[in-house]
Amino acid sequence: MPGMEFFGAAERKEINDVLETGILFRYNHEAQRNNIYKAREFEAEVAKVVGAKYAHAVSSGSTAVLCALAAAGIGAGDEVIVPPFTYIATVEAVLMIGALPVFADIDETLCLSADGIRKAITPKTKAVCLVHMCGQMADMDAIMAVINEHNLVLVEDAGQAMGASFNGVSTGLWGKTGAYSFDFFKIATAGEGGIMVTNDETAYKHADSYSDHGHDHIGSNRGMEQHPILGFNYRISELHAAVGLVQTRRVPEIIQKNNAHKKQLMDRLANVPGVSFARIPDADGDSATFLNLFLEDTQSAQRTVTELNAAGVGGFNYWFVNMYHFINQWDHIKEMRTASALAVEKFGAPQDYKNLEIPRAQAVIGRLISFGIRASWTAEEVDKLAAAIEAAVRKATLVEA
């Protein structure tokens, strides 16, 4: 993924700024820090890049989702529609705030579909936690029509799609709150980190307090701050924020390079029999961190994976058997194996998680192979990868060149 490709002097400079002050904590210590506030700068840079009124940095993309849910008012006993294809943190966040996940079907965008959401709605549904997967975006026109029709709260997990947009509006800003991930494998990385974004001032203030034990961050004496709400510790350090700041500055250029490489791959593979691509609702808004390729059926995809592995082609994911991104492998959720009882175990799960009806998700993910795009590739490297993919597909499907 691009973020990890570009560590250099700029990151070292920002880290050294922090180390020279000795203040790694993001709040207070005004006299010692020499006006160095990397978390604030990080937040401002993300807000500028995505067009958000407010951005709040936290310790991970996972805690960003949790804060986004809490700031949107989602809590104990609330039914929240979630996708079966996502990094598992999305579902974990819903569970950890005491809400009840309701799985709905997806479509060829790789995201929840409007139809899937509509079919999953019950009288108890309060929110939808929409995930923008694999650098793309959901079909927001169709989804917003359902959200508005049923007066639902929309929270967006755009952990894999920072910098993506639909009709000029960034992922993460369609709903009440949104979240981005800055872990090691994202378009920009802080090593570990996340950002909650919103255009709602109250939601922002709630996230700001919720992520730091309820502190209101007013004044310069931390020990005397008020606590308007309860919270916990999801703070980001100044060191992580320093790296995230530089990485965020790189995002527009990375997206440009990603899209050029993705187009080159798609142009080369478009005429290979049996190959198609995930639907991108707004191609102009693609962050292009993945080439998302469909085979004709699950068996063809599995044979292609075998051929790719045999040829030593790396850098791809076959999500259908991935332990952390698709529900087929989430036995610990299906069986509710927990260290301590969760609210869902007290309230009762709204679905039988072992016997879900998500036929389109099974068909879509069974056919999907995703290749990570590297912004640092040369044109020759892109051509080499395209040739290797084509050869594997043709061999797997027994199609002559």
CATH number of the domain enclosing 169:
3.40.640.10
For residue 92, give its domain range: 2-250
Which of the listed residues 195, 222, 250 is the one where a domain comes to its end? 250
- What's CA 167's distance to the chain center, in Å? 19
**Averaged pLDDT of the chain:** 96
Give exposure, 122-160, as e/b (b: 16+ Cβ within 10 Å).
Answer: eeebbbbbbbbbbbbbbbbebbbebbeeeebbbbbbbbb
Identify whether 393 is part of a domain. Answer: yes
What are the backbone angles phi and psi of residue 94, rounded to the nearest 5°? -60, -45
DSSP string, 206-231: HHHHHTBTT----SS-GGG---SS--
pLDDT for the residue numbered 4: 80
Q: Are residues 255 and 106 in the same domain?
A: no
Residue 399 has pLDDT above 90, yes or no: no
pLDDT at 321 over 70: yes
164 and 258 co-located in one domain: no
HSE-up of residue 177 (Cα within 13 Å, Cβ side)? 26
> Using one digit for the tens of pLDDT, what is the confidence trace for 166-204?
999 999 999 999 999 999 999 999 999 999 999 999 999
For the record, the structure tokens of 128 come out as 């939808």
Task: Taking residues 378-400, report their average pLDDT.
Answer: 92
Clarify whether residues 182 and 305 are in a common domain: no
Whether pTM > 0.75 for this model: the answer is yes
Give pLDDT, residue 401. 47
Residues 189 and 271 grouped into a single domain:
no
Report strand pairing: 290-294 vs 54-58: unpaired
CATH code: domain of residue 305? 3.90.1150.10
Tally of domains within the chain:
2
Say what percent of the chain tops pLDDT 90: 97
340 in a domain, yes or no? Answer: no
Asked if residue 201 and residue 299 are part of one domain, the reply reads: no
Token digits of residue 53? 């009124």
When computed from its CA atoms, the radius of gyration of the chain, rounded to whole angstroms, is 21
Q: How many residues does the chain have?
A: 401
Residue 337 located in a structural domain: no
Once rounded to an integer, what is the mean pLDDT over residues 339-366? 97
Inside any domain, residue 350: no
pLDDT confidence bin for 6, thresholds 50/70/90: confident
Residue after which a domain boundary falls, among 250, 271, 295:
250
* 165 within some domain: yes
Backbone angles phi, psi at 70, to 5 degrees: -65, -45
